[in-house]
Each structure stands twice: as structure tokens, then as C-alpha cells.
Chains A and B, each alone.
Chain A
Amino acid sequence: MIPAAFDYTVAESVDHAIALLGEHGDDAKLIAGGHSLLPLMKLRLATPAMLIDVDRLDELSFVRDGGDHIAIGARTRHHDVQNSLLLQTDVPILAHAAGQVGDPQVRHRGTIGGSIAHADPASDLPAVLLALGGSLVARGPSGDRVIDARDFFVGFLESALAPTEVLTEIRVPKVPGVGWSFQKFNRRAQDWAIVGVAAVHNNGSSGVGLVNMGSTPLFAAGVVEALRNGASAADAAAHADEGTEPQTDINATPEYRRHLVKVLVRRALEEAGA
């Protein structure tokens, strides 16, 4: 229940956080809402020597119209993503999925940036980002760079962020009026998904992201390809487990996950109008 002792610094700005990361190296961790990190620290499964608190960087809390896309500050809390009228109108799947993360208390503290940077394959929002074809803005000592979401999740709990980079912004294309569906299958509402599916579909163009089907959040390329080739939702869904490496845990076997993902992709595509 009690984390091991650590040092703590409040980052005054993104650049300050970057400088602190450079100074403390691997010993340091960024903390914002803390809902990925603190539970691990309390169980002493994570013992960083230094926490750099980016939770006060209000400059990173925003939902902005970027023309063809919506830009969301990394420190924007799930609750604010969920309730953003801009997102509800232009990227409804993201607002909806943010409302499925954890529980209300978690959503009041947890942030979209933290959730995505944690790169957890069981997390909801990365799959949505993959389905939408979003991108991430990372700032490092040499400035900003934009990373395609499909290049961002490189391994289990591992992102494309360099050690001295801070995720500052999430960009998602505007998709007003497109069909979408977010299917989260779990045993209790507050739990991580056993399998989840995010799907968007518009005039033959589709995106499908998968939750908890491998060591990283996954883009269901086989499904999208099949749809592009004119497959029905049901036929496309048969490709849902292609390229996945689902794990065994106390709630599911790999076979069950492979089955579930096909069912959920089919349902998602049907709901999205594919």
C-alpha cells in the first residue's frame, strides 16, 4: 500500500520536464494522473527514484479544432475527453471510449496522454487511436516530432517515445457522421477489456483497432483489407485474429480471445454500418 520512497519534482513546463528527464535518466518517471503508475508503485512493482510531475501542466489540457483534425493535450483528463462537445461531434468514438476507461474517479484523474504513453495492450484508447489513424506529437530536446499512431506502440508497455521525450498532443482526424463502434468485453465494468474492438467505417474506408490481442495495441489490417476488397462485415470479421498473439490469463485462453475478437469485430462493423 505504501510506495517505496522517491524524489519528486514538479515540472514547470514541458521543456522543464524534458530537462529533468535528461538529468535523471532511467531513474525518472513522468507522472500525471498517476493511474497507471501509482498502483504499480504501491505494490512495489515499480520503484522509480524520481517522479517528475507533469500533472500541473495546464498548457497540455485542451481539446482544439485543428482544421482536419482535433488536437487533444496529453494532460487532458479522460473525463474531459468524454465530455468534450467538439469530440462528441467530430470524433464521437473517442469521447465514448474515454467514458469506458476505468471508473468515474479514474476518469477524473487519468489522462489521455498517460494512457497512451503507457502503451498497454489492454488499454482502450490506443485501439481507438489506431482505428482512427491518429498521430502523436512528442517534444524532445530538439523540438517536436509527429509520430503516426501505427508506429507508436512498439512493444509491451513500450512506445516510440525517446527517453527524453514528452508526449504533448494527440491528434485524431475529424470523422463527423461516420459509423463507429467501440466494443469492450469484460466481466466487470471497471476492469480492463478481455478483448476490445474499436471500429470506424465511412464509405468503404475503415479502421479497426484491437484491445488485448497481443503485446501491443493492434491495428486489424486483415479486416480492413477484406473490407476494402468488398467483404461483408461477417466475412471481414473472420480475419480479426490475423497477426494477433493473444495471451492466456485468468479470464481467457488464446482460443477464446481469437473467437471473441471475431465476434466483437463483426458486431462492431455491423454497428458501424460496414
Chain B
Amino acid sequence: MRIRLTVNGVDHESDVEPRSLLVHHLRHQLGLTGTNVGCDTSSCGACTVIVDGQSVKSCTMLTVQANGREVTTIEGLADGDEMHPMQQAFQAEHGLQCGYCTPGMVMAAVSLLQENPHPTDAEVRLGLEGNLCRCTGYHNIVKAVLTAAEAPQVPIPHVTVRSGQEVSA
């Protein structure tokens, strides 16, 4: 099936099998290997990317379902040579060790701050409930997100449309 995907601001047209998972498409066809795979059951969050402005687990989305959508991956988060405030905070607070969960954790954290710009410690922990890390014990990840929340907010890059209905009133 022919699809078009905008990834980190770049349009890609590709032929994909219906069974292709978005994470595999990003990694194998587009060469964006920063997004990792850590499980089979949507549990670990290592594959988290932003689709139309919201975090999703790219192992649990068919590539064909992303047709026409905008995807931001870890590779698209920095502004040129300037790391995104979340990336900077993860380094400053030692929020990563082996780094395998990190791209997904950072993308989940970016999405979290977009929805809740000034979270408490507990809200950060709950907001990252879908991301597993085996190295850090989460302590410094939480610190990093709280530190990033102190920095001037930067909109998620490469997002021009946002999914989700306008909240009804």
C-alpha cells in the first residue's frame, strides 16, 4: 500500500505491507533507528514517538494507520545543534544510563509536559507509567522532567496538526 508520512518535517512516500508496524517502518525503511523496540506487548514504551502532536507507542500502530500523519521522532527533537530542553535536562540530571529506553522516555516526557506543563513529582511518575527503564530507578528521570518543566516551554517540533477533538464544553 502506498502511503505518505511526514517524519520530522520531511515528507516520505513509501510502499508498505499492511502488517508493517510504524516502528519498523521508521527504523528499517526510513533509517531512523533512534526509536527502539523493547517488548512485544505495548508495555515498555521504548518505541514512543509523537504522532500528530501526541505520544504513541509506535510498535502498536500500523504504518498504514499513520498514512498522512506527522511523526516526530527523537531524531527530530533537537533544533539543529541545540538539544531540546528535555534532552538537556536528561543529561544535566543524569536521567539516562544505557540509553536504550531514553528516546521513548524523552518523547513521552515531552508529550507529558505539553499536556501538563507544571507537574508534581507524583504526576511525572504517573505520566511516565507507560515507559520502563531498567538502569536509573527512575529517580533522575523524574528530576530531569521536573527540571525541563522549569525551562521555557518549546512546542513539539514538526507538528502542524494536532490529533484529538477539541475538548467539548
B72 part of interface (Cβ distance < 8 Å): no
Q: Of residues B17, B19, B43, B131, which shows the largest number of chain A Cβ atoms within 10 Å of its Cβ?
A: B19
A106 touching B167, Cβ below 8 Å: no
Give the shortest distance, in Å, between B89 (CB) and chain A (any CB): 19
Question: Number of B interface residues, CB 8 Å?
Answer: 39
A77 touching B164, Cβ below 8 Å: yes
Contact-residue size bin, chain A (C-beta under 8 Å from the other chain): 35 or more
How many Å lie between the Cα of A146 and that of B167 in the bound state? 26
B60 touching A103, Cβ below 8 Å: no
A79 touching B164, Cβ below 8 Å: yes
From B40, B54, B115, contact of A39 by CB (8 A): B40
A223 part of interface (Cβ distance < 8 Å): no
Nearest-CB residue, chain A, relative to B23: A1
How many Å lie between the Cα of A42 and that of B17 in the bound state? 15
A190 touching B18, Cβ below 8 Å: no
B167 / chain A contacts, CB cutoff of 8 Å: 80, 83-85
What are 24 A-B contacts with C-beta separation under 8 Å? Answer: A1-B37, A31-B62, A34-B62, A35-B42, A38-B21, A38-B42, A39-B41, A42-B40, A43-B40, A43-B41, A51-B18, A53-B65, A62-B165, A63-B165, A77-B163, A80-B167, A86-B169, A104-B108, A104-B111, A105-B42, A105-B48, A106-B42, A106-B130, A109-B56
Given contacts A84-B167, A103-B131, A188-B129, list 20 more A-B pairs with CB under 8 A.
A1-B40, A2-B19, A7-B18, A8-B62, A8-B64, A38-B61, A51-B62, A53-B62, A53-B64, A61-B165, A63-B165, A63-B168, A79-B54, A103-B130, A104-B55, A104-B112, A104-B115, A106-B130, A109-B60, A109-B61
Binding site for B on A (CB under 8 A): 1-8, 10, 31, 34-35, 38-39, 42-43, 51, 53, 55, 61-64, 76-77, 79-80, 83-86, 102-106, 108-109, 188-190
